[in-house]
Amino acid sequence: MGRVYLVGAGPGDAGLITRKGLEKLQSCDAVVYDRLISEELLDYVSEDCEKIYVGKEKGRHSKNQEEINRILIDCGHRYDMVVRLKGGDPFVFGRGGEEFEALCQAGITCEVIPGVTSAVAVPECAGIPVTHRGMARSFHVITGHTEEASGIPDYDYETLAKLEGTIVFLMGLSHLSELTGRLIAAGKSVVTPVAVISKGTMTGQQVVRGNLENIVQRVEEKGLRPPAVIVIGETAQLFMQAEQEIEEGASASGKRIGVVATDLLWKKLKNGFRKMGVCPQQICSMEVCPTAEMELLRRELQHLERYKWILFTSQNGVSLFFEEVKRNRIDFRSFTDIRFGVLGSGTADKLLEYGFHADFVPSDYKISTLAEEFPRILGQGESVLIPRAIQGSPVLIEALRRQQADFCELGIYDVTGHLIGNIDDLSSMDYLVFASASGVTEFFCEVEKVGFILSEKVKIVCIGEVTEQKLADLHGRADRIATVNNTEGILQAVRDMAGL
């Protein structure tokens, strides 16, 4: 029987989790996480930690509360340490109390690790204190959504209207008109300051200010989307931030970029985009999955003397190949007479991490250039081993066949993906970046499932000819193609397109 920790992840910014919460996350065997937690926090869990997503959003529930409780109980039985990672604080409108009770009734030890609640942190990070001397001596936190049929909280609005402190509504953006209207009807002054903060503490934060009478119109004009915190009271008119801070969004340029890539590539792109002054958000997370042909690779590793060349078209192929070499205890001296070819500089760098220099890199980092140039350097009777993705371009293979080259192509991995966060965030994106053809396939398959149609206003940036062709097939266009098939190539393509 294990122990389950209900850990508050904070209001959104990964840096606002507590030290104790992060320590538990780093050592847990399984993590059960919500939609509103920062995906960056999952980078801290160990490689063998099971990650279970149970996010919920209005109209598209992944799991209901009873199912989540059962998952937690099951994990508590199977693992020694489980982290239930919840946005904000577990006991502030997070149904953490229900989960605690369910675990205790199942005989599983449960411990709560508090988190920074969005009720205080989101306004604070937008420059709004919830209390201030001479202005607000108290604050009141209220849920803006209920499980009733209408979803509209049926409070004693006359009492709320008489409160002298700050009122903070959580999860109430879709009912903003009803909330403000009923407060006015109950006697609250129409000029009472109001601030609505969307995506507080996160990339793309937006703040709209007004009063009870005009805030609904202003929010609609700005197109704010959940998650959002509503602050009503005199402190909502304050702005306690350094002058250089940007209130309307988290970037200097105001540009927002969605990324469809593996977690490893996302981390590299994220840092690059932030240095450029734009707001990146991972839209679809891609996962590299070994295929059944890994078994064929194991057989070929026992007969490396057959090959004169090993050709890699991606960093993923390099990593999976050499990790399999290690698992099978293959002596690196077996590669003494083997030469290595790679598609681009990024793949060459990955190969060097395992101690090997690339003997061949095409003059242009395109699969068509590789297909044109590589067959020319093959000697008579030289065999080539090509471990790559099962969705690899046929151009290279067709070129080798035309030359009647001796080669063994193994589709040792596939790439699958799933959408992250709120799909409606795509509506506010300026650019969408695709790092692979498989990412294009997975993305459009996932958005079709939820009935989302990508706006023509979103500019598409991609890497490589294969990805470009897949976009042409599924979306009809790609607006900019990276001239170099690596991270810097993508970043430069966005710089050129955005004029940064």
Active-site residue set: 34, 56, 171
Sheet of 109-113: strands edge to edge? 50-53, 30-33, 81-86, 3-8, 109-113
- Distance CA(440)–CA(433), nearest Å, equals 10
Question: For residue 322, how many other CB atoms are within 10 A of its CB?
Answer: 20
| Range list of β-strands (E), 2-43 | 3-8, 30-33
Sequence letter at residue 90? P
- Distance CA(191)–CA(96), nearest Å, equals 36
Question: For residue 156, how many other CB atoms are within 10 A of its CB?
Answer: 9
φ, ψ (nearest 5 deg) of residue 189: -60, 140
Alpha helices, DSSP H only, in 304-377? 315-327, 345-353, 367-377
Question: Strand pairing partners for 311?
Answer: 341
- Distance CA(84)–CA(50), nearest Å, equals 12
Of 341, 359, 345, 348, which Cα lies nearest the Cα of 400? Answer: 341
φ, ψ (nearest 5 deg) of residue 98: -65, -40
Contact 270, 256 (CB under 8 A): no
Of 78, 68, 79, 142, which Cα lies nearest the Cα of 101? Answer: 68
Contact 233, 257 (CB under 8 A): no
- Contacts of residue 146, Cβ cutoff 8 Å, sequence gap at least 6: 152, 153, 154
Q: 350: phi > 0 → left, psi -120 to 50 → alpha, else beta; which?
A: alpha
- Distance CA(390)–CA(411), nearest Å, equals 4
Strands 279-290 and 406-419, sheet pairing: antiparallel
Of 385, 427, 377, which Cα lies nearest the Cα of 406? Answer: 385
Question: For residue 10, how many other CB atoms are within 10 A of its CB?
Answer: 26
